[in-house]
Structure 1
Amino acid sequence: MSYDYDLFVIGAGSGGIAAARRSATYGVKVAIAEGNRLGGTCVNRGCIPKKLMVYASHFPALFQDARGYGWSAVESTFDWKTMITAIDNELTRLNGVYRKMLETSGVELFPSYAKIIDPHTIEIDNRQVTADKILIAVGGYPVKPDIPGIEYTITSDDMFLLQSQPKHIVIMGGGYIGVEFACIMNGLGSQVTQLIRRDLVLRGFDDDIRSMVQEGMEQHGIRIIRVDDPPVIEKTSDGLNVILGDTHQETIAVDTVLTAVGRKPNLNNLGLENAGVEIKNGAIAVNQYSETNQPNIFAVGDCTDRMNLTPVAINEGRAFADTQFGGKSRTMCYENIPTAVFSTPEAATVGLMEDRAREEFGNEAIKVYRAKFKPTYHSVSGRDERVMVKLVVEEDTDKVLGAHMVGENAAEIIQGIAIALKMGAKKSDFDGTVGLHPSIAEEFVTLR
């Protein structure tokens, strides 16, 4: 049977664009549909604009640090509108880059939303096209809890659309999104209160990371409150009241409430039921080759809810293209994927957490090497900032199972260490490596 396209991709985020471009290099006819800005969550509502806000939030501390090094005090004010405009301009530029990349690759772009009609048919722009294979890469969206007054809150998507800076913001959720925005807004000068359901932020990370990040956040002035029951939110003439129940019995007057309690696959109005695509636990069910229960329909990225990270979606998309069109059958490996939290202090990790390693290998089989110290930079800055580096090692084999860090440039350092773990490095390999002195990173090769 003849089709209009060899591959039709629904969703032009990180995974979709990577798959479309790689597939096109194999000489197949590819189209991609996207009803929003190109680049998906990462480029438009996540990684990129958030990281730019992280950079902006660090300048007040740098101005303060400079005084310890002999520079005169800096009198500076922050303009939210200038920052938001600059970020939006950069996102517009990046969208142009992605558009050009698709054009250069020979991928046809439909700037509209697409819906599946049957296993080989897609509806778009009030017409139907056919494809031999369909790839779904529609990402996810932030969810809101069902609590009184939730309609007055915003999500992480809305943070980049605020036209004025919140004076006092309450952030609901202790995951990495909530933590990062808490640190950003605190650094920019807003008063920040964060509500979490557990004793520590960043559930799913190593306990040393969790405790040290939270300690740093509170030291920097963020108020973190553990709540058992969700708050009630009331609109007032001046803003919002966040009413805490249980043991707190407190009302917090704010102008903005950010809900950061999780994300879900973005499957609404996609027409998956028309093609009989299986949904499991709210996500598209796929095998190791990103194949759904329909042999010609595939899915990658956050809509599959495997590991929701931009580089993972990109690798999944490229692995799909190589396997289906390039004659290079391969799958995505989900072991030893590095992860960073761009909080203040920053955190990064790769491999197993200490408690997971002890659970998997046995408590006596694991040896932990850890160091906490003040970095040289802050020896004269006047700020009491600490760094933590940690290796989790299996004693019998000497293999490094996990590496964890809290401190400045943690992501940059752990990225390099991730290569070592991917290659199966042993603690003796770290010990035998000469350190770069003086640096924070050298602590990883001097742990004893």
Structure 2
Amino acid sequence: MNYDVIFIGSGHANNHGARLLAAAGKKVAMIEADKLGGVCTNYGCDAKILLDGPFEYLDGLNNYQDLGLRADVQIDWTKLMNHKRKTLAGFQTVMEPMFQNLGIDIIKGRGIIVDVHTVAVGDQHYTADYIVIGTGARNAKLNIPGQEFTQGSTEFLDLDALPEHMIVIGAGIIGMEFASMALLAGKKVTFFEYADRPLLAYPEKYVKKIVAKFEAQGAVFHFGQAVAKVEKADKGFRVATQAGLEVTGDFVLDATGRVANVENLGLENLGIEASPRGIKVDEHMRTAVPNIYASGDVVDKTIPKLTPTAEFESNYIGRDILNPEGPAIAYPVIPNLVFTLPRIGQVGVTIDEAKTHPEQYKLVEIPWGEQHDWVNNHERDAELALIFDKEDYLVGAAAISSQVGTWLDWLTQIIEKKMTAQELNSMVMAFPTQTYVLWSTVTSLLKAQ
């Protein structure tokens, strides 16, 4: 064999496992048809958080308007976009030598699996004991007339200028996150959503707060509406629903979901089951062909398709290749976050689950912003929910706040490690900080020891 392991794709779903195996002395190659690092690094998460930063500061400033703060802040999207492009371009200059210094060969081109041990890239064939598929996912496209006039997240995150009126089809994570930025920049946003509310997987109480804030900023929501077509108009594009509603804007974002990149990989010739949801794998992340694995967003799974999930799976696959008789994959609790302004996030048992099963869980809801304004950056609408089991172990949490990411990263450890109040009291927190207040709050409610 040319290699011990060939990875198809170089994103988080693959490169962590590749590094682990290279460090263990395995001969490893990664095949990449686009930019090194995959979608998250080049077209998704990293681009989003680079652009989101100044909007987060602006939103924080706005919290103090009732105390007399008057800040005339303007975000120069063009300069911000140039900063994003320069930063991400810098990643490309360092990633290839970094991988090569770790002993990983980079093969440029599209990989197609020819047989159980062979991957073709153009006219070249490469063989390996193991193959790992980490080709990710892409923006979905509604199958409607005029779909060629719609754009996805990749296009929005590389716009030279923000649209004056953005029409968003789908009020899910991507649509709501991008709208947060556009609205704070003073742009108009119109939503068409087939469901009766946005962000169905997240606490309705928190989502209603986001909707109310968006509407106060000028957003218009049309729920229960199925888009029938998009057509070119005199100025921009006209979106029409099946019910006959029509709206014209200058940018149409199709935010109706993502589909797995499973086409043209040679899977059907090997009997590997795949669909737009992804590739079927077993509890070891192996496909129907035991020496071929799949990882990350290309996998058909109920576990959230997140960058840290892909990284976790990639590291697991590396260990499984080193020890094929090892344990099945066991996912920890996984926090997930919506980067609206403010953020919404949750981890573990949800609020709805706790309310549905009061015999199993205790739900503690805290009006965080009202109780802790002294340390909460005057974020009056912030809320926190803590969910405990009958033994008073923390098993879930949800929140709406600009600080949710920090809170959840900390609370996830308490849930995963089944920590007690005695264990938390063995620590000392910095004061005065929000995490100190969170620490003292959780300690008072947890199982004692």
TM-score (norm 2): 0.89
Separation (CA, whole Å) in 1 of partners of 2:129 and 2:234: 57
* Pairing partner for 2:413 from 407, 411, 419: 419
In structure 1, the gaps of 5 or more residues are: none
Separation (CA, whole Å) in 2 of partners of 1:266 and 1:50: 21
* CA deviation profile, 1:349-400 (whole Å, cap 9, x unmatched): 11011222455xx3333221001243699789998741010011223x2222
CA deviation after TM superposition for structure 1 residue 337, in Å: 0.6
| Match of residue 295 from structure 1 | 290
Contact 1:393–1:399, Cα closer than 8 Å, also in 2: yes
Separation (CA, whole Å) in 1 of partners of 2:382 and 2:61: 21
Separation (CA, whole Å) in 2 of partners of 1:399 and 1:380: 26
Structure 2 residue 99 is the aligned partner of structure 1 residue 102:
yes
State the secondary structure of the residue aligned to 1:48: helix
Contact 2:361–2:388, Cα closer than 8 Å, also in 1: yes
| Match of residue 128 from structure 2 | 131
| Match of residue 195 from structure 1 | 192
**Seq. identity, %:** 27
| Match of residue 402 from structure 2 | 408
Separation (CA, whole Å) in 2 of partners of 1:5 and 1:325: 14
State the secondary structure of the residue aligned to 2:198: coil
> What amino acid is the match of 2:278?
A
| Match of residue 279 from structure 2 | 284
Structure 2 residue 70 is the aligned partner of structure 1 residue 43:
no
Separation (CA, whole Å) in 1 of partners of 2:11 and 2:159: 23
Q: 1:18 to 1:432 in 2, by over 3 A?
A: closer
Q: 1:42 to 1:281 in 2, by over 3 A?
A: closer
Structure 1 window deviating more from structure 2 (55-64 vs 257-266): it is 55-64
* Pairing partner for 1:353 from 330, 350, 354: 350
Contact 2:262–2:276, Cα closer than 8 Å, also in 1: no
| Match of residue 251 from structure 1 | 246
| Match of residue 174 from structure 2 | 177
* CA deviation profile, 1:272-310 (whole Å, cap 9, x unmatched): 123222226742111121111111111111110323111
Separation (CA, whole Å) in 2 of partners of 1:38 and 1:313: 16
CA deviation after TM superposition for structure 1 residue 138, in Å: 0.4
> What amino acid is the match of 1:400?
L
* CA deviation profile, 1:10-39 (whole Å, cap 9, x unmatched): 011111111111111111111110011111
Q: 1:242 to 1:379 in 2, by over 3 A?
A: farther
Q: 1:334 to 1:219 in 2, by over 3 A?
A: farther
Q: 1:302 to 1:382 in 2, by over 3 A?
A: closer
Contact 1:434–1:445, Cα closer than 8 Å, also in 2: no
> What amino acid is the match of 1:4?
N
| Match of residue 269 from structure 1 | 264
> What amino acid is the match of 1:18?
H
Q: 1:220 to 1:392 in 2, by over 3 A?
A: farther
Q: 1:381 to 1:21 in 2, by over 3 A?
A: closer
State the secondary structure of the residue aligned to 2:227: coil
Structure 1 window deviating more from structure 2 (252-261 vs 428-437): it is 428-437
State the secondary structure of the residue aligned to 2:398: strand
* CA deviation profile, 1:79-120 (whole Å, cap 9, x unmatched): 322222211111111223322321111000012111111111
> What amino acid is the match of 2:410?
G
Instruction: Count the aligned residue pairs.
Output: 440
> What amino acid is the match of 1:227?
G
Separation (CA, whole Å) in 2 of partners of 1:381 and 1:300: 39
In structure 2, the gaps of 5 or more residues are: none
* Pairing partner for 2:235 from 235, 238, 248: 238
Structure 2 residue 137 is the aligned partner of structure 1 residue 143:
no
Structure 2 residue 162 is the aligned partner of structure 1 residue 168:
no
| Match of residue 341 from structure 2 | 344
Structure 1 window deviating more from structure 2 (420-429 vs 136-145): it is 420-429
State the secondary structure of the residue aligned to 2:394: strand
